[in-house]
Amino acid sequence: MAKLYFNYSAMNAGKSTVLLQAAYNYRERGMTVLLLKPTVDHRGPVGEISSRIGLSAPADLIAPDRDVKRHVLDRHKAEPLACVLIDEAQFLSRDQVWQLADVVDEAGIPVLCYGIRTDLRGDLFPGSAALLAIADHLREVRTICWCGRKATMNARLDAEGRVVRDGAQVEIGGNERYAVLCRRHWRLGDLGPDI
């Protein structure tokens, strides 16, 4: 039975690596997978999902107003899909998440979403909120704070390396703009002794 999965975490937990490994496992068994990535995330080469450890694979880009269900079903008609894997799922709209639920429920295609849960303020992203509400299976991919505790918060850094909590919800960046922290150190704005 097909399900809608949401694999979530703070940044830098290896979600893209896990996604690419899953895609490899399907393909190694001769199955066709569809990789998707929202256009909002413009890091790395266009049309590619890549991990910090050097793995990458081509992906179809999904614009914010794109009908994801139609896109998936068109691809499925051309070549039957074993599953759909989506990176940076927090950038999906609520409607797009429901479209993916339709893909699962109506077409019987498993959909595996990977993304971060919260923004710089500790608020849910729209895609993450919808996935947390309706996904059949939730899985936390864990990473750690500098203190060794589980990191659950994404701290945005200003030009001087200080934690900021105001600004646009979406500001694309990597280690130069963000640090992952446990809730305690995020609240304190404490980036640790090495910073």
Q: Output DSSP code: residue 150.
A: B
Exposure string of 161-180, with b = 16+ CB inside 10 Å and e = fewer, is: eebbeeeeeeeeeeeebbbb
88 is catalytic: yes
Q: Which residue has the tokens 């759909």?
A: 84
Residues 105, 114: Cα–Cα separation, whole Å = 19
Out of 28, 79, 88, 171, which one is annotated catalytic? Answer: 88
- Residues across the chain: 195
Give the active site residues.
Answer: 88
